Amino acid sequence: MKFLTFVDLHEDKKQLKHLVARASEDDVDFIICSGGLHPVASNIKLILGKINSIGKKAFFICSNEKERNIVSSMIGNYENCFFLDGEAIEHEDYVLFGHGGEGLAREDFQFRQVSRKWYGNYKNKKSVLVLYGPAYETKLDKVEDKFLGNIDYRKFILRMQPKVAISGHITESYGMSDKLEKTILINPGFEGMVIELP
């Protein structure tokens, strides 16, 4: 099972066209957006419409409250698009966990609350974690000599051990990957990546 994931697309219509073309290929089963759509209603409507037209399930989280409000109010109009932010959605043999947060906070109390429920309900299921900000102290949150990621995300990954944890926001780590014990960490950037799940 393969999926295309991307983050921080913002208003890049040329890159959106590329992502739609890649996601339309037969080897891609579904799509995950890890936030960063740019909180302008017309832009989000365009992105949701284009992604929806592919005809494959697409899951979205958001990068801030304004974006979250727009996406959550619109997404019900698109039959193939699903709001993953703050949710756990079972898809095939996996559970997808989504949390947008608010960028580069070292701690996230809201995530702590929802992640406890996820652990209690799905601790024995294979999972994919979709975040906007990265986990603390990895290649994906390091900028120069500082780690800017979130400690709560790191703790959850170590405890739950999802197969893949996706994040964005740090432009310096676009296209990079790392590993935290058994979990593969990915920042797909706006160019996107195709990930295969066992």
Write out the residue range of the structural domain in which residue 180 sits.
2-196
The pLDDT value given to residue 101: 81
* Percent with pLDDT over 70 in the chain: 100
- Name the residue with higher pLDDT: 44 or 101: 44
Quick one: pLDDT band at residue 29, thresholds 50, 70, 90? very high
| 51-72 mean pLDDT | 96
| 16-27 mean pLDDT | 98
Rounded to whole angstroms, the Cα distance separating 88 from 130 reads 10
Specify the residue for token string 């992105």.
47
The pLDDT value given to residue 38: 81
What global pTM score does this model have?
0.96
- Reported as type and span, the H/E element at residue 196 is strand 193-196
What's the domain count of the chain? Answer: 1
| 155-179 mean pLDDT | 96
Order of all β-strands in the sheet with 193-196:
81-83, 58-60, 30-33, 2-6, 193-196
β-bridge mates for residue 164, sequence order: 128, 184
* Nearest residue to 138 (alpha-carbon basis) of 148, 129, 130: 148
Rounded to whole angstroms, the Cα distance separating 60 from 51 reads 11
Rounded to whole angstroms, the Cα distance separating 172 from 136 reads 15
The pLDDT value given to residue 105: 85
- Name the residue with higher pLDDT: 11 or 139: 139
For the chain, what is the mean pLDDT? Answer: 95
The pLDDT value given to residue 198: 80
Quick one: pLDDT band at residue 58, thresholds 50, 70, 90? very high
CATH at residue 19: 3.60.21.10
Helix (H, G, I), strand (E, B) or coil at 44: helix
Quick one: pLDDT band at residue 62, thresholds 50, 70, 90? very high
